[in-house]
Structure 1
Amino acid sequence: MKKIFLAAAAAFSAIVFPACSTVEPGPLRVATFNIRVPVDKGVNAWEERLPRIHKIVADNNFHVFGIQEMFRKSQHATLNSFPGFKRVDGNNPAYQDLAVYDVIFYRPERLELLDQGVFALSETPDVPKSKSWNTNLPRETTWAKFRDKSNGKVFFLYNTHLDHRSVVARRKGTDVNLAHINANAGDLPAILLGDFNAQTHTDVYKKIIAHLNDSQKITEAPAAGPYNTYTGYNRKPGAGAHLDYIFVSPGTRVLSYRVIDTLVDGQFPSDHYPVMVEIELK
Structure 2
Amino acid sequence: MKIWIIAALIFSTTQIAKAQQITIGTFNIRYDNPRDTGNLWVNRAPVVSNLIRFHGFDVLGVQEAYKNQLDDMSAALPEYDRYGKGRDDGNDGGEHSAIYYKKSRFKLLKSGDFWLSETPEKPGKGWDATCCNRICSWVLLQDLKTKKQFYTFNVHYDHQGVIARRESSKLIIKQINKIAGNAPVLLTGDLNGGRDSECYQELATSKLLLDTYTKVQFPYANNASFNSFSTPRGQAVIDHIFMTNSFIVNKWGILTDTYYGKYPSDHFPVLAEVELK
TM-score (norm 2): 0.86
Q: Give the paired residue count.
A: 257
Deviation at 1:26, TM superposition (A): 4.9
Structure 2 alignment gaps of length 5 or more: 1-14
Q: Secondary structure at the match of 2:65?
A: strand
**Residues 217 and 224 (structure 1), Cα distance of their counterparts in 2 relative to 1, 3 Å cut:** same
Structure 2: how far apart are the matches of 1:174 and 1:26?
28
1:165 corresponds, among 160, 165, 182, to: 160
Between structure 1 and structure 2, the one with the greater Rg is 1
Structure 2: how far apart are the matches of 1:56 and 1:157?
21
Structure 2: how far apart are the matches of 1:35 and 1:51?
12
Which AA in structure 2 matches 1:218? K
Structure 2: how far apart are the matches of 1:269 and 1:261?
9
The 4+ residue runs of structure 1 with deviation greater than 4 A are 90-94
Deviation at 1:77, TM superposition (A): 3.1
Q: Which residue of 1 aligns with 2:106?
A: 111
User: 1:186-205 to 2 correspondence within 5 Å?
Assistant: 186-205=181-200
1:230 corresponds, among 226, 229, 233, to: 226
Which AA in structure 2 matches 1:224? Y
Which AA in structure 2 matches 1:209? A
User: 1:113-262 to 2 correspondence within 5 Å?
Assistant: 113-127=108-122, 129-135=123-129, 136-210=131-205, 211-220=208-217, 222-236=218-232, 238-239=233-234, 241-262=236-257
Q: Is the 8 A contact 1:230 1:240 kept in 2?
A: no
Structure 1: how far apart are the matches of 2:87 and 2:45?
26
2:71 corresponds, among 66, 69, 77, to: 77
Structure 1: how far apart are the matches of 2:108 and 2:168?
25
Deviation at 1:167, TM superposition (A): 0.3
Structure 2: how far apart are the matches of 1:52 and 1:240?
25
Deviation at 1:172, TM superposition (A): 1.0
**Residues 76 and 248 (structure 1), Cα distance of their counterparts in 2 relative to 1, 3 Å cut:** closer
**Residues 99 and 240 (structure 1), Cα distance of their counterparts in 2 relative to 1, 3 Å cut:** farther
Residues 144-183 of structure 1 deviation map (CA, whole Å, 9 limit, x = unaligned): 0011234222111000000000001101111111101011
- Alpha-carbon RMSD across the aligned residues, in angstroms, is 2.2
Residues 98-141 of structure 1 deviation map (CA, whole Å, 9 limit, x = unaligned): 211211110011111110000011101112x1212132111010
**Residues 167 and 93 (structure 1), Cα distance of their counterparts in 2 relative to 1, 3 Å cut:** closer
Structure 1 alignment gaps of length 5 or more: 1-20
Give the fraction of aligned pairs with identical amino acids, expressed as a percent: 28
Q: Is the 8 A contact 1:24 1:110 kept in 2?
A: no
Q: Secondary structure at the match of 1:48?
A: helix
Q: Secondary structure at the match of 1:70?
A: coil
Residues 176-205 of structure 1 deviation map (CA, whole Å, 9 limit, x = unaligned): 111010112111111111100011111111
**Residues 90 and 112 (structure 1), Cα distance of their counterparts in 2 relative to 1, 3 Å cut:** farther
